[in-house]
């Protein structure tokens, strides 16, 4: 099923690949019948397609800038995981787990006829990418882990648990911006007022009556626990090229964890993003350049 595309169509680049400011809109059926919302940027080329997977309480809108950039020469899909954005919510909360998210991404690959894709995952999205790569390595061309690894620092986990799913309702976009800055300014200092409004619009939505609400099901926090050992999952990614981006001041991904990852995978590429905590926005020049170089090394024939 395909929803109506937005009106703000950008000029077509050479070669005819059509780019949209917000992407073509698609709904994909998950194995259990849940509808998943996906924005598609660009068109298939000789590069592997890219699937962008957001963090715990975030949506695919986080990747609009990156997707628009990468879509100049490849297909890019930005996903709303179930319980977020325009994807279906699970009233039972039982499917809010990595195994379900990984299978959802596999369904998206199937829907678009992709044998495999490069995965870019922020925080929970990176863990989802790891779970999919471990379970179905043939479907994953490469993985970019944005400020996440097999081990999460307890101080970062505690900080996130203190606000995720617990934020007070907001009444206006000014309130949404203030709440966004309270949660994230320490991790992403130096943004302008306009940039903070743009970030707030990635995390909140406006209802038809003008009400501003947070754009995820609070139930996505604290879902069923995972039983697999994350380091075992990481070991099963052998053969899949990996790039790890770490915010220099991250309280979630420790520098020591990245060093251990590199010891276990000497071919792993790691880049530290200055002046960023958890997690880099991927609009930083250092992050954007690292992703572009990494993906360009993985050029293959069309799938």
Q: In which element (H, E) is residue 120 found?
A: strand 117-122
pTM of the model: 0.90
pLDDT string in tens for the chain (303-residue length) = 333 333 332 233 333 333 334 569 999 999 999 999 999 999 988 889 999 999 999 999 999 999 999 999 999 999 999 999 999 999 999 999 999 999 999 999 999 999 999 999 999 999 999 999 999 999 999 999 999 999 999 999 999 999 998 999 999 999 999 999 999 999 999 999 999 999 999 999 999 999 999 999 999 997 666 778 999 999 999 999 999 999 999 999 999 999 999 999 999 999 999 999 999 999 999 999 999 999 998 654 333
pLDDT at residue 17 in the model? 35
Q: Give me 226's structure tokens.
A: 């995972």
pLDDT at residue 109 in the model? 97
Q: In 10 A of CB 170, how many CB atoms?
A: 19
Instruction: Transcribe 70-102 into DSSP letters.
Output: HTTSS-EEEEE-TTBTTSPP-TT-TT-SHHHHH
The answer to whether the beta carbons of residues 21 and 68 sit under 8 Å apart is yes
pLDDT at residue 8 in the model? 32
Q: Give me 93's structure tokens.
A: 């909360």
CA gap 270, 251 in Å, rounded: 17
The answer to whether the beta carbons of residues 288 and 282 sit under 8 Å apart is yes
The answer to whether the beta carbons of residues 56 and 122 sit under 8 Å apart is no
pLDDT at residue 298 in the model? 65
pLDDT at residue 200 in the model? 97
C-alpha of 201 from chain center: 16
- Say if strands 24-29 and 50-53 run parallel, antiparallel, or are unpaired: unpaired
- Specify the fold of 24-159+226-296: Rossmann fold (3.40.50)
CA distances from 106 to 102, 109, 119, 180 (A): 6, 5, 11, 31
Per-residue DSSP letter, 180: H
Half-sphere exposure of 81 (CA within 13 A, CB side): 31
Nearest-CA neighbor of 203 among 224, 222, 186, 182?
182
CA distances from 147 to 5, 26, 199 (A): 32, 28, 18
Domain boundaries, the chain: 24-159+226-296
CA gap 220, 218 in Å, rounded: 5
């Amino acid at each position: 099923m395909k929803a109506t595309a937005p009106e703000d169509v950008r000029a077509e680049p050479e070669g005819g690949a059509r780019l949209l400011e917000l992407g073509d809109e698609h709904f994909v059926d998950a194995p259990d019948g849940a509808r998943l919302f996906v924005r598609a940027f660009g068109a298939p080329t000789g590069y592997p397609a890219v699937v962008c997977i957001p963090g715990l309480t975030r949506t695919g809108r986080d990747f609009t800038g990156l997707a628009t950039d990468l879509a100049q020469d490849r297909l890019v899909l930005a996903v709303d995981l179930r319980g977020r954005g325009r994807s279906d919510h699970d009233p039972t909360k039982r499917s809010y787990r990595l195994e379900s998210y990984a299978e959802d991404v596999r369904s998206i690959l199937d829907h678009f006829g992709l044998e495999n894709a490069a995965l870019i995952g922020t925080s929970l999205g990176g863990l989802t990418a790891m779970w999919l790569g471990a379970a179905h390595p043939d479907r994953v061309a490469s993985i970019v882990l944005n400020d996440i690894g097999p081990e999460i620092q307890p101080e970062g986990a505690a900080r996130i648990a203190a606000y995720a799913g617990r934020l007070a309702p907001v009444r206006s976009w000014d309130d949404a911006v203030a709440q966004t800055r309270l949660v994230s300014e320490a991790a992403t200092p130096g943004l302008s007022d306009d940039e903070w409004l743009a970030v707030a619009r990635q995390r909140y939505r406006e209802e038809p009556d003008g009400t501003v609400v947070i754009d995820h099901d609070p139930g996505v926090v604290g879902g069923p626990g995972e039983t697999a050992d994350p380091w075992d999952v990481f070991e099963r990614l052998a053969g899949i090229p990996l790039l790890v981006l770490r915010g220099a001041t991250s309280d979630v991904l420790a520098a020591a964890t990245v060093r251990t990852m590199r010891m276990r995978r000497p071919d792993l590429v790691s880049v530290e993003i200055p002046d960023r905590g958890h997690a880099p926005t991927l609009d930083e020049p250092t992050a954007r350049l690292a992703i572009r170089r990494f993906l360009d090394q993985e050029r293959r024939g069309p799938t």
